[in-house]
Structure 1
Amino acid sequence: MPILNSHQRAILLMIIAPTMWSMAGVLTRHLDAARGFEITFWRSFFSATFVAGAMMMTLGWSKAVATVLAVGRLGVLSGLMWSVMFMCFMIALTKTTVANTLIVMSISPLLTAFLAWLFLKQRIAQRTWAAIIAAFIGILWMFVSSMSGVQGQHLVGMMIATAVPIAAAVNLIAIKRAGHGVDLIPAVLLGSVFSAAMMLPFAWPLQASLHDIVILAILGFFQLGLPCMLMVRAAKRLSAPEVSLLALLEVLLGPLWTWLGAGEVPARETLIGGAVVMLALVFNELAAMRTVAVARN
């Protein structure tokens, strides 16, 4: 008898994925010369390299190519949404603060729940709505003391950041609509390729040192490529709002890693808000597991 059922394994994958995503801030703090567009280019390039390598190792060359060609319109749409997320997140950070960017990104669960109801006719449990609202309030509290005024360049950055939760919500709906019949791991590859290709003209001439390249390779492999693949796998077993909620762990853990790895001490509001977010996530998942157990009995 397996230790974890399929739903629990999916939850575990969706805990690992945002934990890996959350390492972006602390790793980029240690870059020497690479900035903005170049970070996005290299991160996307190495993500594409990792996903392509993983597919060839597990499927073989011919089957990997066939899988990419078989993604269909939903796969291309998912790839485009991944590329929007990859690009707009980094571009937004060049225009406004991390706090402002994360505040905008935190609306993703609300958008995802609405689109899931609209396009997938998916009933959203009251506990999930409650968790979404509680998590949103917690995130607002986390960054209330450090939010910048939304004028000038900050407003531009926040408008760009708005594309991230919209793309994330559309991407999850595409993955859920594709169902189990279509493998959308290749969509992560397509998104990485699209992002790298679009960022290269803006990143040229490249300035990254060898030290930077190593860090950017780690970002591409383990902060982008691998966790995005894990999310696609987890999304097969979890509802779209549930995936989007668990993805908020990235917002929660990001300040923690920069505290431990870059000496940026979090404010009291960050700790209190983070506790609210964590309680909301734990409550939602425990309630979901209880519902599954009751249904089986």
Structure 2
Amino acid sequence: MPLTHARALLLMVLATLLWSIAGVVTRQLQAAGGFEVTFWRSFFTLAAMAVLLPLLRRRGLAGRVRGAGWPLWVAGLCWSVMFTAFMLALTLTSVANVLVTMALGPLFTALVARVALGHRLAPRTWLAIVLAGAGIAWMYGPQLRLGDGGSGVLAGTLVALCVPAAASVNWTVAQRSHAAGHDIDLVPAVLLGALLSSLYTLPLALPFAATPRDIALLALLGVVQLAIPCVLAVRSARVLAAPEVSLLALLEVIFGIALAWLGAGEQPAPEVLAGGSLVILALVANELLGWRARAG
């Protein structure tokens, strides 16, 4: 079935909805925590991708992987950092804090591209960076006060920042490879990321404490929340424009906070809603203005 623009939009919305269940599902775990949560999710993602990849890349897979060279390994390492940091952050701070912090990815990418590739940043992007920074300060300022569990919030925030940082490096490497005439196949990179994350979190996850119910929930995350939506997003990105993908990806923040609120009773604080709204507004305005400028 050909992937039309409308179908690509629906697939991308579905991908963000599936991504957003991580917080509410994690809050249902009984005994698993920390690195064990990350290990099991990455392990089940690896198993799912091992099944999906041969179906999606039936011909020439081994040759493409061998010919990808070091950019594929860097992309895989970046994915592994994102997989690991995201789950660890969810165990340290609230779902809303993690998702809003992760939403800074496009601005991180713009800054890294400015340094590594020499891309000039438009004034609207600099303004978006300033507004997003103000929103983050608005969110975290009251939470970091002594006696409000500030150390846990700070640790969770620093871990969550690894996600947009790794994503920005991943995008920059992909752009440099594209400019050199060698596009990175993102689906094998996701599999490699799951493999690396599983390997370096396994020793830290022992001894296992997860109950059978925990393992079933983490299998759900590995397959339904990570492997399948990553494939859907990669397919959609072939049809959708980059601003469309960036804007639709922000739905994960809205869906994720709403699901954690309704399904786990994790009500975000007023400053989180206010500061997070400022961050999202800055990102949306930046993408829409950039899209309009390119169209003009």
Q: Normalising by the residue count of structure 2, what TM-score does the alignment of the two structures yield?
A: 0.78
Residue matched to 2:40: 42
Alpha-carbon distance between aligned partners in 2 of 1:133 and 1:245, rounded to the nearest angstrom: 19
Q: Report whether the alignment pairs 1:63 with 2:63.
A: no
Residue matched to 1:30: 28
Residue matched to 1:111: 108
Residue matched to 2:117: 120
Conserved? CA contact 1:100–1:148, under 8 Å = no
CA separation of 1:14 and 1:70: change in aligned 2, threshold 3 A: farther
Q: Report whether the alignment pairs 1:228 with 2:226.
A: no
225-234 or 99-108, which deviates more: 99-108
CA displacement, residues 16-72 of structure 1 (integer Å, 9 cap, x when unaligned): 544433321111111122221111011101111222222111223x63333333332
Conserved? CA contact 2:108–2:168, under 8 Å = yes
Conserved? CA contact 2:42–2:194, under 8 Å = yes
Letter in structure 2 aligned against 1:227: P
Q: Report whether the alignment pairs 1:90 with 2:113.
A: no
Residue matched to 2:172: 173
Alpha-carbon distance between aligned partners in 1 of 2:23 and 2:29, rounded to the nearest angstrom: 11
Residue matched to 2:199: 197
151-160 or 28-37, which deviates more: 151-160
Shift in Å, 1:89: 3.0
**Secondary structure at the counterpart of residue 31 of structure 2:** coil
Map 1:11-30 to 2 at 5 A: 16-30=14-28
Letter in structure 1 aligned against 2:46: A
Alpha-carbon distance between aligned partners in 2 of 1:13 and 1:261, rounded to the nearest angstrom: 24
Aligned residue pair count: 289
Alpha-carbon distance between aligned partners in 2 of 1:259 and 1:234, rounded to the nearest angstrom: 29
CA separation of 1:199 and 1:13: change in aligned 2, threshold 3 A: same
Shift in Å, 1:248: 5.0
Residue matched to 1:262: 264
Letter in structure 2 aligned against 1:28: T
Conserved? CA contact 2:143–2:153, under 8 Å = no
Map 1:266-281 to 2 at 5 A: 266-281=268-283
Q: Report whether the alignment pairs 1:129 with 2:126.
A: yes
CA displacement, residues 76-133 of structure 1 (integer Å, 9 cap, x when unaligned): 0010111112223333455556566567645544431121122233333333333343
Letter in structure 1 aligned against 2:163: V
CA displacement, residues 244-266 of structure 1 (integer Å, 9 cap, x when unaligned): 77655544443221111112223
268-277 or 51-60, which deviates more: 268-277
Letter in structure 2 aligned against 1:192: A
CA displacement, residues 175-211 of structure 1 (integer Å, 9 cap, x when unaligned): 2223273312211110000001111122223333332
Alpha-carbon distance between aligned partners in 1 of 2:262 and 2:35, rounded to the nearest angstrom: 26
CA separation of 1:43 and 1:238: change in aligned 2, threshold 3 A: same
Letter in structure 1 aligned against 2:267: V
159-168 or 97-106, which deviates more: 97-106
Shift in Å, 1:280: 3.1
Gaps of 5+ in 2: none
Q: Report whether the alignment pairs 1:141 with 2:138.
A: yes
**Secondary structure at the counterpart of residue 203 of structure 2:** helix
Conserved? CA contact 1:112–1:244, under 8 Å = no
